[in-house]
Amino acid sequence: MKLEIFDNYEGLSLRAAKEIIGAIQRKPSAVFCLATGDSPKRTYELLTNEVTQSGVDFSKAHFIGLDEWVGIPPSNPGSCHYYLDTNVFRPLGISAARIHLFDALSKDLPNECQSMDETIRRLGGIDLMLVGIGMNGHVGFNEPGVSPNLYSHVIHLDEMTQNVGQKYFNGAVVLKQGITLGLKHFLETKLVLLVANGEKKAAIIKRSLEENISENLPATFIRKHANSKVFIDSAAASKLIKAR
Ligand code: GLP
């Protein structure tokens, strides 16, 4: 794992956008898995600007969904589907055939998980995954206590995730379950980037980078990954022992 600390959110976002561009330049048919949430928002804006200006070509790339709120339709602005359409797929002009997201309204969620795993296998694995970190140390919806041996699965969301998740929605919503790629996908991905910014993330970043690697804190698995990079701003780094 490589840790890079930036003066501000803009700096880390620019760095993450450059990693994504580097990946597509190395491999035009790269398979990406990009998280939703507030943390990577600026990365996607900068990526879009760069693509518009320099004409980097994403037309051969594939995009895998990281996670979704079970029962929330794609038309809901709080859904991961809506977020990715708005912040990534439409701005980059990605065609529907190259987008592979969970159907969180499916009556057969185990089948959704199975077909996602098959898609990832068929595409030869994920080349680059960009993740954020939940306030409880989750990655995607891999909540504390999750087995690191799982591929896609449906999971009960812990209370903190149910509460923090309200910030994405216009009005209160019931968030009980998530459908997510597993830590096994995360560990098998060729390059994983984790981004976090702001003081609110300082405590969980400290725990994730300094405590023992354990399924009780899924983000600690970033240190087990063979090729991972953590980009954080100085506020998120403010509680780290070594960064001081
Ligand atoms: C959410 C998502 C994650 C996201 C994380 C952090 O609940 N399931 O994919 O990365 O929590 O979100 P944010 O960047 O808004 O802090």
Region of 137 (left: φ > 0; alpha: ψ -120 to 50; beta: rest) is left
Q: How many CB atoms lie within 10 A of CB 30?
A: 23
- What pLDDT score was predicted for residue 55? 86
242 burial (CB, 10 Å; 0-12 / 13-18 / 19+) is: exposed
Enumerate the active-site residues.
67, 136, 138, 143
Total-model pTM: 0.97
- What six digits make up the tokens of 101? 């997201």
For residue 201, which atom of ligand 1 is closest to its CA?
16
The two tokens of residue 197 are 């910014």
Q: Which pLDDT score, from 0 to 100, does residue 191 have?
A: 98
Distance in angstroms (rounded) separating the CA atoms of residues 70 and 176 = 8
Share of the chain above pLDDT 90, in %: 98
Q: Per-residue pLDDT tens for 162-196?
A: 999 999 999 999 999 999 999 999 999 999 999 99
The CA 165 to ligand 1 mean position distance, Å, reads 8
Say how far apart CA 83 and CA 3 lie, in whole Å: 27
How far is 84 from 65, CA to CA, in rounded Å? 9
Q: Which residues line ligand 1 (CB under 6 A)?
A: 35-39, 66-67, 131-134, 140-141, 161, 165
What per-residue confidence (pLDDT) applies to 33? 99
Closest CA relative to residue 188, chosen from 113, 117, 88, 132: 117
Q: Which positions of the chain have pLDDT values less than 50?
A: 244
Mean pLDDT of all residues in the chain? Answer: 97
Please give the distance, rounded to the nearest whole angstrom, from the Cα atom of residue 137 to the centre of ligand 1: 10
